[in-house]
């Protein structure tokens, strides 16, 4: 996580390249309906959560690397989240 944070600008530059890539599906489908400015606004809206996660902002609080990693591990090992991911769990059957 420390490496991701220290190289966040480089990572965001790579991701921003996809915004301008004409082969990206979400821009191609909206290109006829939206202006270039609207596409840029949509792209910025989609990149903002990635920037927040790289900085460790959760809610309105910026967390340290150890706190963020601990929170992510708790979320990843949560029985609720794991139960939602398990395909075999079918309450409707």
Over the chain (93 residues), what is each successive 10-residue block's mean pLDDT?
92 83 56 63 85 90 93 91 77 64
pLDDT the model gives residue 16: 84
pLDDT the model gives residue 58: 86
Domain that holds residue 90: 64-93
Q: Identify whether residues 40 and 20 lie together within a single domain.
A: yes
Q: Identify whether residues 15 and 47 lie together within a single domain.
A: yes
Q: Identify whether residues 69 and 44 lie together within a single domain.
A: no
pLDDT the model gives residue 32: 54
- Residue 26 near residue 19 (C-beta atoms within 8 A): no
Q: Identify whether residues 43 and 73 lie together within a single domain.
A: no
pLDDT the model gives residue 30: 52
In angstroms, what CA-CA distances link 27 with 12, 15, 49, 88, 91? 18, 14, 18, 35, 37
Distance of alpha carbon 48 from alpha carbon 67, whole angstroms: 21
Q: Identify whether residues 75 and 34 lie together within a single domain.
A: no
In angstroms, what CA-CA distances link 67 with 2, 10, 44, 79? 12, 23, 27, 20
pLDDT the model gives residue 89: 65
Q: Identify whether residues 47 and 73 lie together within a single domain.
A: no
Q: Identify whether residues 33 and 50 lie together within a single domain.
A: yes
Q: Identify whether residues 38 and 77 lie together within a single domain.
A: no
- What is the total count of domains within the chain? 2
Beta bridge partners of residue 61, listed in sequence order: 58
């Amino acid at each position: 996580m420390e490496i991701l944070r220290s190289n966040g600008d480089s990572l965001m530059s790579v991701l921003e390249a996809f915004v301008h890539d004409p082969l990206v599906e979400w821009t191609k489908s909206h290109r006829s309906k939206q202006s270039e400015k609207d596409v840029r606004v949509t792209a910025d809206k989609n990149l903002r959560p990635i920037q927040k996660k790289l900085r460790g902002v959760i809610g309105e609080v910026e967390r340290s690397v150890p706190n963020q990693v601990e929170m992510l591990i708790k979320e990843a090992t949560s029985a609720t989240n794991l139960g939602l991911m398990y395909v075999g769990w079918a309450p409707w059957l």
